[in-house]
Structure 1
Amino acid sequence: MKIFFSSILCFALAFTSCNKKSESIIVKVENPLPVDRSNETVEIKLADLQLTEVQKAYTNWGVNDVVTEKELVSQLIDQDGDGNWDLLIFQPEVKASSKMDFEIFPKKEAYQTDSVPTCYSRFVPERTDDYAWENDRVAFRTYGPKAQKMIEDSVPGGTLSSGMDAWLKRVEYPIINKWYEKYVSGTGTYHEDTGEGLDNFHVGKSRGIGGIAKKADTTYYYSKNFTSWKTITTGPLRTSFVLQYADWDASGKSISEEKHISLDRGQNLSKFELKINGVSSISTGITLHEKKGVTTTNKENGWMSYWEPHDGSELGLGIVTKPKNIIAFDKYDTTLKDESNLYAELELENGEVIYYAGFGWKKSKQFQNQKEWETYLADFAQKVNNPLKVTLP
């Protein structure tokens, strides 16, 4: 009798396992380039998988390498905030000019992630009203309406800028909360490096790293601080959020602006997805600070760079986009404080355009010189223009 029961139990477990297997989906990922690929995110839209009613009942999905049967780190994302998962993302390692199969499989345990994951962002009301974001390599922040009003009301401590600030971290773990806690508690300051990095990147009125502007005649115009924010996701592989701005004027042209910003694990560049109304083109820029660095532009491959001496070290700033987006580059050199920037004018398609902006700090030991930084940008651009190809069943 015990043997009979045990056999039934084993059969039931085997049936459950087989049943789960039958509900899995195989997708193919192809690398079209003759170089190995890693730290690149594959996106699977769950709606494109044409799930059965049984499959739709699952609230968690994982990803396995079919050959090794090893589970990859993955992340589920609710893009529109309706309470249902829209995207499944993962970062495969794919050899040059090769294809790999991956199994998308249902998981019985509930989906969860760390409270402060590798790719993290949040609104920071305790430091006026910053919005800050980071991954395992870099960190950024930008400024909200309260900081703007403080400047307009002549209250000390405000910031008036739609530029993007770079936080020069040199550790892989999250630092945003830790650095702000030092500020709030008065136990330290993120303007001094105690081993993790620091904020010594000046933005002011400049575009920082990836802020936008519109040129009319010989003058660049730009928005003020963001007016509202919405966090979409944080997790092991990606953080993303949306910033809204008040309409702004560029020599008589009223411009509306929305930025959807995301940052993936292993990357130095944030992705900016713009929605702009009122003009047919927009410029994104990187500050030239003291104008002591070297600018490089490459329209054919879709990138621009500024490598500069920076507070006893060196710093590379860069922007990458598809070559077809670029109308022209403009090294805007002026005597006006903080207004010298290297710009790329980008053509809008139906009011939208995508670019990537970020930095590499020599002291983080990620890049040692201008050549290494520009090689990274060129490689990043090549992969943006030749993404991993996903074939669904």
Structure 2
Amino acid sequence: MKKIVFFFLTAALFINCDKKAEIVSTVTVKNNLSMDREFETVEVDISNLADEKVANLVVLDAENKIVTSQIVDADFDGKNDVILFQPTIKANQSKKYTIAVSEVKNKADTVYCFSRFVPERTDDYTWENNRVAFRTFGPVAQKMIEDGVKGGTLSSGIDAWLKRVQYPIINKWYKKAEKEKGAYHKDHGEGLDNFHVGVSRGVGGTAVKVDSSYYFSKNFTSYKTITTGPIRTSFVLNYATWDANGKQIDETKHISLDYGQNLSRFEIDIKGTETISTGLTLHKKKGVTNQNDAEFWISHWETLGDSKIGSGIVTTKSYFSGSEKYVTPKKDESNHFLHLNVVNNKVVFYSGFGWVKSKQFNNKKDWENYLTNFSKKISSPLIVTKN
């Protein structure tokens, strides 16, 4: 997403209840697509503002109503330097927003976009928003497998937690599992985890193809949580150098999930290869795969339990390098792969799922239309300019 830098202006405006707000800047957000847009996050650079002003920033729309925002330390230097918000804009239109210092606070208290390390369940890392949830696995779970200890997990695949409520469930499900082993594998009205990962790529795990075989890392070795809040959660996962048939691969994953989205954003720093692949597990190989080279996505639609689920991965033109449905008799290693070009030691893609029981999508067509529209949006991001 595009960032802009703004400078402090000496002005004032009035918002509800005659509360004064000191204008910092006004910005215009433009939608160049012929479709209405919402739940897309705009980032505005606030690094030149004093800490006391940053702490009291709000975003106002044209009617001086406060728009939900979130302040983030994006470069990990201990200073908040970006403010996030999600404009709602009609097709081919523009809207103006004001950034201001105000005594009226942002009242968005619910942390819909949440992530954390979970030491009470070995050492998962989990994340969620109001629509979906995910997890992946850490070094303790790996060592348990290597030492023959029951209950470990050896996988760098991405697990899908199928939630069908908007409120946060991660802490609640783990807490319930402490009292009832495997509680989140049953649907008690909020959803469940019945999505098997094993050594598969799950929903967006990575791999490197050498000749006709795929190689992938073990579990993450360390993590850093960057932010949680009403609009975004983001974090970093580090991996030990791993071998891909003689290639030594260094990999760090920067993962974020925004409010209103079904797909997590993966920005991966990668060294040791010119291409990398990201995959969707084929489970029992009874689902339907599809790909759209023009819109740079792959998908898998399958029956899971008593419902249907679609998984998908989307990228942009500069990273896209084709796809492959890889089927093997090896357990859990059949995946539908999206191939990516490594550009300046980096790849970016978006991966996630839609579950019919969540009532977000009704069928395979709905899911694939979502992937196509998502692709169009990330290929033509909202344009943000300072006025």
TM-score in terms of structure 2 length: 0.92
Name the CA distance, whole Å, in 2 between partners of 1:368 and 1:131.
Answer: 30
Task: Please state how far the C-alpha of 1:108 moved relative to its aligned partner.
Answer: 3.7
1:323 counterpart letter in structure 2: K
The 5 A counterparts of 1:366-377 are: 366-377=360-371
Q: Alpha-carbon deviations, 1:342-369, whole Å to 9, x = none?
A: 0011001111011000000011111111
Task: Please state how far the C-alpha of 1:143 moved relative to its aligned partner.
Answer: 0.2
2:30 is aligned with 1:30: yes
Name the CA distance, whole Å, in 2 between partners of 1:168 and 1:277.
Answer: 33
Q: Alpha-carbon deviations, 1:126-151, whole Å to 9, x = none?
A: 00000000000000000000000000
SS in 2 for 1:226: coil
Name the CA distance, whole Å, in 1 between partners of 2:143 and 2:275.
Answer: 29
Choose the corresponding residue for 2:61, options 65, 81, 99. 65
Question: 1:59·1:111 contact (CA, 8 Å) conserved in 2?
Answer: no
Q: Alpha-carbon deviations, 1:316-360, whole Å to 9, x = none?
A: 000010023111201101111000000011001111011000000
Choose the corresponding residue for 1:157, options 143, 146, 151. 151
Question: 2:57·2:101 contact (CA, 8 Å) conserved in 1?
Answer: yes
Question: 1:244·1:257 contact (CA, 8 Å) conserved in 2?
Answer: yes
Give 2:139's aligned residue. Answer: 145
Runs (5+) with no aligned partner, structure 1: 1-14
1:30 counterpart letter in structure 2: K
Give 2:40's aligned residue. Answer: 40
CA change 1:26–1:16 in 2 (3 A) is closer
Give 2:281's aligned residue. Answer: 287
Give 1:86's aligned residue. Answer: 81
Give 1:103's aligned residue. Answer: 98
Let me know the Cα RMSD of the aligned residues: 1.9
The 5 A counterparts of 1:176-255 are: 176-186=170-180, 189-255=183-249
Task: Please state how far the C-alpha of 1:112 moved relative to its aligned partner.
Answer: 8.8
Question: 2:307·2:356 contact (CA, 8 Å) conserved in 1?
Answer: yes
Give 1:337's aligned residue. Answer: 331
Name the CA distance, whole Å, in 2 between partners of 1:151 and 1:187.
Answer: 19
Runs (5+) with no aligned partner, structure 2: 1-10
1:25 counterpart letter in structure 2: S
Name the CA distance, whole Å, in 2 between partners of 1:69 and 1:362.
Answer: 38
Name the CA distance, whole Å, in 1 between partners of 2:147 and 2:158.
Answer: 23
Question: 1:20·1:105 contact (CA, 8 Å) conserved in 2?
Answer: no
Name the CA distance, whole Å, in 2 between partners of 1:199 and 1:360.
Answer: 14
Q: How many residues align?
A: 373
Task: Please state how far the C-alpha of 1:76 moved relative to its aligned partner.
Answer: 0.4
Name the CA distance, whole Å, in 2 between partners of 1:276 and 1:389.
Answer: 29
Task: Please state how far the C-alpha of 1:234 moved relative to its aligned partner.
Answer: 0.2
Name the larger-Rg structure.
1
Name the CA distance, whole Å, in 2 between partners of 1:296 and 1:355.
Answer: 17
Task: Please state how far the C-alpha of 1:59 moved relative to its aligned partner.
Answer: 2.5
Name the CA distance, whole Å, in 2 between partners of 1:344 and 1:138.
Answer: 21
Question: 2:289·2:298 contact (CA, 8 Å) conserved in 1?
Answer: yes
Name the CA distance, whole Å, in 1 between partners of 2:253 and 2:12.
Answer: 45
Q: Alpha-carbon deviations, 1:79-135, whole Å to 9, x = none?
A: 233331111110111011011110000134788974x61000000000000000000
Report the structure, 1 or 2, having the larger helix content.
1
CA change 1:188–1:298 in 2 (3 A) is closer
Give 1:351's aligned residue. Answer: 345
Name the CA distance, whole Å, in 2 between partners of 1:294 and 1:205.
Answer: 21
Give 2:4's aligned residue. Answer: none
Moved more, 180-189 or 287-296: 180-189
CA change 1:95–1:17 in 2 (3 A) is closer
Name the CA distance, whole Å, in 2 between partners of 1:103 and 1:326.
Answer: 37
SS in 2 for 1:346: strand
Task: Please state how far the C-alpha of 1:23 moved relative to its aligned partner.
Answer: 3.5
CA change 1:162–1:23 in 2 (3 A) is same
Task: Please state how far the C-alpha of 1:184 moved relative to its aligned partner.
Answer: 1.2
Question: 1:299·1:323 contact (CA, 8 Å) conserved in 2?
Answer: no
Q: Which portions of structure 1, spanning 4 or more consecutive aligned residues, are displaced by more than 2 angstroms?
A: 15-24, 55-60, 80-83, 107-114, 185-188
Give 2:305's aligned residue. Answer: 311
Question: 2:117·2:125 contact (CA, 8 Å) conserved in 1?
Answer: yes
Name the CA distance, whole Å, in 1 between partners of 2:346 and 2:107.
Answer: 33
